Structure 1
Amino acid sequence: MLGALNSWLGSWWSVSRFKAHVTTGDRLYAGTDSTVYLQMVDSSGAESEPTCLDKMLVNDHERGETHSYGLKTEGLQTPEKLDHIVVWRHASLTGDDRWFLDRVEIEDRILRIRYIFPVQRWIEVERRYYLFEFDAFLPQDDRQIDNRRLELQRKREMYQFKQTIERGPKQIKDLPDDEKFSERYMLDFLKLKGKLIARTYHLKFTTEEWSSLEDVKNIYHPDSTLHRPECTKYWTEDRWFGLQRVQGVNSVLIELCKNIPKKFALQTECVEPFLEGFTLDEALEKNKIFIIDLELLNRAPCKNEMPVLVAPIGLFYLNKKDDLMPIAIQLFQDPSPTNPIYYPSDPPLTWIMAKMFFNMGDAQQHQSCTHLGLTHLLMETMCVAAHRNLSPSHPIFRLLAPHYLYLLAINARGLEKLISPGGWVDSGMIVGRTGMFKLISRGFRRWRLDVDGDVEKQIEVRGVADPKILPYYPYRDDAVPLFRIIKSYVARVVKYFYDTPEKLEGDYEVQNWVKEMATTQLDGGLGIGGMPEKLENIDQLITICTAVVAACSLGHAGANFQQYDAYGFVPNYPGILMNMPPQKKREMTEKDILEFLPNKSTTLDIMVITKLLSMKGTKSLGDFEVQYLYNPDIVHIAEEFRLELKKLSHEIKKRNKQREFKYEWFDPDIVPNSISI
């Protein structure tokens, strides 16, 4: 009797001391009906008996589910010191050949500790996976180096490049299933899209074609679906036009002007009445003059009857109230009698017309470069390169992975739906698809990681980092502290894994990643400017990783989420105007202005698309959808990251209470982890 009891207790102890909590990932076709086995290996190398992870009358290992199992310990010599686990599966009767395993947690219920084994991989049939705690290793430290190389080779086959835009950032050739939207995400997106389209049908039949500018304001519905943007109250005001430079969708262009460019045929006597008693030279000397030069647009192709796109230059004066006021606009780069300069003293609607064309040019650069080219597509290039060169176990891959969520999926959808021939870009943007690709190529070739990838440096280069020079600049005041928090977080994670210079030098995966990005496209690389061909120090790697995280979060947030507020009322920030500006300055009428505007149908399309693009897709920065790094020290760093973000969120909310117009796009509560819309 006693012997039987001891035998039973021994069996109970063996099965119940350790429990495995097995989580299947939330991906399409992630589940499996296979028979799954798990084996523990202790620090002496002794192996436990394999445990079949299967429950009677339970459908185990389904998508997004966690199931728990008691584990056998027979064979272990030092069970208090687990070294690694082994997982494998047999073929199933249903023939499913894949299983996406997110993680395995081994709970020691006697010592009250948990071992975490992140996996985040597809588990193939009849292949043994040796899983080590936290699974974040540099390649030179990985004990399964042959498996690692094989896995990376397969990823290179899956993640291949194609060149959609000549001399521009490259895209994924074929979208892997791993990168597709979740069903829930797509359902939410399509529900909103259906609701917006239904609303536009209602508006088409319940509103009139334009006979006045007031008609354009009356196309909106009082509910929150397609509401009237606030800019409808201010769009004609010069102060509002200046505010768009510092708090609008494209607040990355304003720069201090020290000298008037020769190509800007300014008449001094025409601007000095707006300088509050200063001469132009005095205003320049006192840092009162600012400029935006959209020369990137010069001679870019465009659609409709326009032979060429405007490429405006705008001059601004910082008045005694610290308001940035427009004082001159030239719509094309080359001075000529057919390219007049417009001033606030011109007839009111003539001056409004000039501001509309300036904003139309600004909108082309915003959508082509600031938004699509230098967040979506540039980050796709760097993301695909990471998949091709960094093992899923690489700490840098695990650091960046949360910020790549849905990036490739949204880009594939955007190129297919919005930027395809005849798509929204061809109808709602004056450059059309061909012109947009040309601008993206130009912007990409000018972009430099060591300057443009650093928010602080980019602002310094434009001469507007000092609040004494440009006191009211919400973009700067909110973006810089957020960028610093991101950089601090990235630096702490990177330095944790690279605690000696030798580790960086010996990390051939991260060196290959950087080399592929730095190599010119003519030589088979990606041609990213400002990228070192070889990492010589940790600071270079921190700069690269910070640029990625910042672009995927704050960079995209600033360019994307207020699109409806800007574009939703077309006269405020037109993506398209239907005629060329006059070659001779003349007094404009309201009828003239209406003839520049797109019709009601195109306007409604612009409203729907910009409303959809303004939708937030993923969780707030730092609140990662999937956890990739489990090392306790890194978990602590991430917790401090979230705490710093929370403090900044409080500060920005406090600032917004003092601002006349809220600027909440860099509030960490608003900024998502990734580019997913």
Structure 2
Amino acid sequence: MYNYDYAFYLKYVLFKKLNYHDHHVVSNLFKNILDISIAILPEYVAKHWKEDDFYGSQFLNAVNPNVIKRCSELPPNFPVTEEMVKLFLEEGSSLQKEMEKGNIFLYDQKKMDGIPPRAYNGEPLTVTAGLCLFYRNPENKLMPIAIQLHQQPSEQNPIFLPSDPETDWLLAKMFIKNADSMDHQAVHHLMNTHFLAEVYTVAALRSFPVIHPLYKPNSNSTIYQMKILNTFVFVFTSFVKAVVEYYYASDSEVYKDTELQEWISEIFTHGFLGNKASGFPAGFHTVEEVIKFITMVIFTVTAQHAAVNSGQFDYYSWVPNGSLLLHKSPPTTKGQSNMNTILETLPDVGETVINYGLPWPHLNMLHVPMGIYPEERFDEPAPKQMIKEFQAELSYLSEEITTRNSQLEVPYTYLNPAEIENSVAI
């Protein structure tokens, strides 16, 4: 069922640092997990994780899709030369030409620079604030072409290339994905969806009575790529605009709603500590402001959360593809690694099982699709009709996405409304 890499790695982790009893128990656990939950995409990841084009595609279509930026000029601390990457570009082209065409992209994890390593079982774990250069080639594939694992260039911080020894290049990619996994979980997943949802919800519970119209779509019973995203924003804005304008006919009604003002004040004051630089308003003055803010809230706890959450099992269950834990320090020279270096860098069996199984319960909680409200909270015919129309638009969008995915080797299902939770489970 599994390819050589997959079987070899499982065998390795099952016997690494274990006595017979341990490996027997964990082996059965692994078998049960695999038998119950293995799906096409995790198996695909296990087969293709070392391939550069699949590696690049994950920075667009996997669990952390918003971290690369088009690069029109190399940062001074990333001294990639034409000679280094010429081999990986279109024949007759150059790095400068490809930057001018908009085909060069940069992953820069500089915000992690200077973070002290944490100790794990007595060993310091290096935080790699790396840089990775990507090239969109004539086949429209996003390919990594240069990696530097620390911010400041030096002889001990070489620029790794696809032409380097296979395990050197693989290690470099693994350390970039390690940092990306940390950034994904801590910032883009937890802070930017779960923790924001907590702020909105706690403020709503403190400020709104249950009969307030904005309590109903924001606090539901679960309290306790670019084209699709743009379509979602349009669909949401249609729905939110209709509901908000039904209850707020003028800006003066927004201004006079003390409960609404208390809600946004709670969010700004206690959630963002009054920081104006956060971009969050301290109060509402117009109906348009309320529409924009409520659209953002609903989008964050539904589509945005799905984009950074739902693919975790698909892409992280094959641990070498993206682990939060790497035991060895990043390579400082070329030509010194081999497959044993790779295996010694990766987590052992217990750590692997935790990494493998951690997302599974969260991804298999009670599923209430987006736009479905199990509790009837609106009594008026007008908002009920608005909800029906919203659900119809989502259903149409779902059919479009399903049709598109049927033609793809690697489907992207995370923004299919039928697969999106109605709210973040806090």
**Residue among 287, 290, 300 paired with 2:115:** 300
Does 2:316 align with 1:510? no
Indicate how the Cα distance of structure 1 residues 511 and 658 shifts in structure 2: closer, same or farther if over 3 A, else same: same
Report how many residues are paired.
Answer: 400
Kept after mapping to 2: 8 A contact 1:616/1:672: no
Per-residue displacement from partner, 1:561-601 (whole Å, max 9, x unpaired)?
A: 11111111111111110111122223421001001011111
Distance 2:86 2:422 in 1: 47
After superposition, residues 113-132 of structure 1 pair within 5 angstroms as none
In structure 2, what residue type is equivalent to 1:634? Answer: P
The whole-number CA distance in structure 2 between the counterparts of 1:372 and 1:531 is 19
> RCO higher in 1 or 2 (8 Å CA, sep ≥ 6)?
2
Instruction: Give the TM-score taking structure 2 as reference length.
Output: 0.88
Question: Equivalent of 1:665, from 397, 414, 417?
Answer: 414
Identify which range, 493-502 or 353-362, moves more after superposition: 493-502
The residue that corresponds to 2:234 in the other structure is 484
Instruction: Structure 2: give runs of 5+ residues left out of the alignment.
Output: 1-9, 18-26
Is 1:606 the equivalent of 2:334? Answer: no
Could you tell me how far 1:220 is from its partner in structure 2?
5.2
The answer for the alignment partner of 1:469 in structure 2 is none
User: What is the aligned partner in structure 1 of residue 67 from structure 2?
Assistant: 253
| Aligned match of 2:15 | 209
> Does the 8 Å contact 1:514/1:532 carry over to 2?
yes
Paired amino acid for 1:582:
P
Amino acid at match of 1:261: P
Q: 1:223 Cα deviation (Å)?
A: 1.9
Cα deviation, 1:328-362, whole Å, max 9, x if unaligned, reads 11111222222211111111111011110000000
CA 569–220 in structure 1, closer or farther in 2 if over 3 Å, else same: farther
- Shift in CA distance, 521/370, structure 1 to aligned 2, threshold 3 Å: closer
Specify the alignment match of 1:406 in structure 2. 222
Q: 1:291 to 1:322 in 2, by over 3 A?
A: same
1:392 is aligned to 2:206: no
Query: Does structure 1 retain, via aligned residues, the 8 Å contact 2:252–2:286?
Result: no
User: For residue 487 of structure 1, what is the amino acid of its counterpart?
Assistant: T
1:12-51 to 2 correspondences below 5 Å: none
> What root-mean-square deviation, in Å, do the aligned CA atoms of Structure 1 and Structure 2 show?
2.4
Q: For 1:341, which of 159, 169, 172 is the aligned residue?
A: 159
Aligned match for 1:281, one of 81, 87, 96: 96
CA contact (8 A) 2:307 2:415 kept: yes
**Structure 2 equivalent of residue 224 of structure 1:** 36
SS in structure 2 at match of 1:660: coil
Distance 1:208 1:510 in 2: 56
Aligned residues of 2:254 and 2:286 also touching (Cα < 8 A): yes
Instruction: Specify the code of the residue in structure 2 equivalent to 1:295.
Output: K
Matched, 1:557 2:306: yes
Larger radius of gyration: 1
Letter in 1 for 2:237: K
Counterparts in 2 of 1:206 and 1:312: CA distance versus 1, 3 Å: closer
Structure with greater helix percent? 2
> Compared with structure 1, are the counterparts of its residues 630 and 505 closer, same or farther at alpha carbon in structure 2 (3 Å cutoff)?
same
CA distance in 2, matches of 1:641, 1:377: 26
In the TM superposition, residue 639 of structure 1 has moved relative to its aligned partner by: 0.3
Correspondence 1:381 to 2:196: no
Any idea what the Cα deviations from partners look like across 1:208-253, whole Å, max 9, x if unmatched?
A: 4259xxxx9x965652335653200100000010110111000121
Deviations, residues 392-428 of structure 1 (Å, cap 9, x unaligned): 22211123122xx434x3xxxxxxxxxxxxxxxxxxx
TM-score by length of 1: 0.56
Q: Is the 8 A contact 1:490 1:545 kept in 2?
A: yes
Please give the secondary structure, in 1, of the residue aligned with 2:320: coil
Cα distance in structure 1, aligned partners of 2:370 and 2:291: 18
CA distance in 1, matches of 2:142, 2:38: 30
Distance in 2 (CA, whole Å) between partners of 1:622 and 1:480 is 17
Deviation at 1:650, TM superposition (A): 0.3
Contact 1:561 1:616 survives alignment (8 Å): no
The aligned residue for residue 499 of structure 1 is 249
User: Residues 521 and 555 from structure 1, CA distance in 2 versus in 1: closer, same or farther, beyond 3 angstroms?
Assistant: closer
8 Å Cα contact 1:567/1:573 also seen in 2: yes
Contact 1:493 1:637 in 2 (8 A): yes
Tell me how far 1:387 sits from its aligned partner: 1.6
**Counterpart of 1:623 in structure 2: which amino acid?**
I
Between stretches 349-358 and 304-313, larger displacement belongs to 304-313
Offset of residue 520 of structure 1: 7.3
Q: Does 1:263 align with 2:77?
A: yes
SS in 2 for 1:255: strand
Q: Which amino acid aligns with 2:106?
A: I
SS at match of 2:146: strand
Conserved? CA contact 1:621–1:672, under 8 Å: yes
> SS in structure 1 opposite 2:55?
helix
Contact 1:618 1:676 in 2 (8 A): no
SS in 2 for 1:630: coil
Q: Which amino acid aligns with 1:283?
A: E
The answer as to whether partners of 1:250 and 1:366 remain within 8 angstroms in 2 is: yes
